[in-house]
Structure 1
Amino acid sequence: MTSFTELQQQRRTIYALGQNVQQTPEALFELVKSAVRYAPTAFNNQTVRSIVLTGDAHEKLWDIVAKRLKQEVPDETAYQATLAKINASFKAGFGTVLFFTDTAIVKSFEENVPLYAENFQDWSEQGHGIAEYATWLALTEAGLGASLQHYNPLIDEEVAEAFDVPSTWRLRAQLVFGSIEAPAANKDFVGDDERFKYYSK
């Protein structure tokens, strides 16, 4: 059985993704639901929302990204390089998890728990980090690769229209996943003495 530490070490950003996936889309939807459901949030306010896209819906998302970036990258040569990356690293994958914050919940806690009002936005972002990491680890455990992208807010309006996103949901990240077609490169780490301290008294 893989330990949690081993699972952490296996999780990497994978850009060479494919569609050679053994799990059904429905099983992966349940995997994402479980990972997000059991990820902790401040005051258990459960501000994280997610939409899982596979098949045509997954491809539609990355077509939206490509079309939107065309407006941001007017140089045709540069755009073609961007388009190639989108197609090879993202659209080629099996699916994408869209992560959102339900801003209505954040606002309600700001109003109803005024002592901590200024913290709830930060805490919602922390909840996102945990939910995204939990989902990524769950996908890793399932033998899949993933990479976390942030094309928001450029694509927010188009995504909301395409996937019937409630008006209070704010897009925060896109976790694209699929089969691992090539391993990640070696990862360098900052020295422990620069990152960690320990005191016993």
Structure 2
Amino acid sequence: MASTTSFLAATQARRSMYALAKESPISNKRIIEIVEHAIKHAPSPFNVRSTRCVVLLGAEHDKLWEHAYEITEKTTPQAIGILGPKIKGFGAAYGTCMFFDDSTAVNDLTPRFAALSGQYPEWFEHSNGMHQYIVWTALEAEGLGCNLQHYQPSITPFVTNEWKIPETWSLKCQLVFGKPTAGPGDEKPKRPMEDCLKVYGN
């Protein structure tokens, strides 16, 4: 099926790209539509829909990575020589989508399902990861390069205060995106499939 082939081709094309320009081949409206699509359609435990997103564009995106540089330089000065250029590179990109999980979303569940969900917090991590993957893959298919970063918890207080984030939202990651100015680099060798997949039955 063409739709299946298109999806598989998109998953194969998705790679981490770090050489990104402050340009986008698609409109801001289209970027937001992609994030909205993930929020609406990604799986979540008990359909609880606990993933939250904040998209930063223009000066707001710059503000995030300027702070990330400052806090890294302040808290881990020994690492700024390595991390500093990377953070500057994130700031040079077009935008950032921050992913959160809202702990109050389970309040909408029945007491039985709320109690059950509390026993398996990894289910919410799985759902958040699927949201990230959908957005990343869709942006890739639209001609944007992306890379996924995890500068929490050092940037969390700033993020919470600057963009009025509810205290119940837990920051999970930052997806940086922009127009690629170079390829993703050589693919790393992959393990043989027989080491990764077992099939029983016919």
Q: TM-score, normalised by structure 2?
A: 0.90
Q: Tell me, in whole angstroms, the C-alpha distance in 2 between the residues paired with 1:86 and 1:58.
A: 12
> Residue by residue, what CA displacement relative to the aligned partner does 1:24-67 show, whole Å, maximum 9, x if unpaired?
22221122111222111011000000000010000001011111
Which residue, 50, 56, 61 being the options, matches 1:58? 61
Aligned to 1:195: 196
Amino acid at match of 2:153: P
Aligned to 1:46: 49
Aligned to 2:141: 141
Please tell me whether residue 126 in structure 1 is matched to residue 126 in structure 2: yes
List runs of 5+ in structure 1 lacking aligned partners.
none
> Residue by residue, what CA displacement relative to the aligned partner does 1:177-196 show, whole Å, maximum 9, x if unpaired?
01111101222211112111
After TM superposition, what 4+ stretches of structure 1 lie above 6 angstroms from structure 2? none
Q: Tell me, in whole angstroms, the C-alpha distance in 1 between the residues paired with 2:94 and 2:118.
A: 39
Aligned residues: 197
List runs of 5+ in structure 2 lacking aligned partners.
none
Residues 26-45 of structure 1 correspond to what in structure 2 (within 5 A)?
26-45=29-48
Aligned to 1:117: 118
- CA drift of 1:102 comes to 0.2
What's the % identity of the aligned pairs?
A: 34
- CA drift of 1:111 comes to 4.8
Aligned to 2:163: 163
Aligned to 1:105: 105
Q: Tell me, in whole angstroms, the C-alpha distance in 2 between the residues paired with 1:154 and 1:85.
A: 16
Q: 1:23 to 1:115 in 2, by over 3 A?
A: closer
Which residue, 48, 72, 76 being the options, matches 2:75? 72
RMSD, matched Cα: 1.8
- CA drift of 1:97 comes to 0.2
- CA drift of 1:112 comes to 4.3
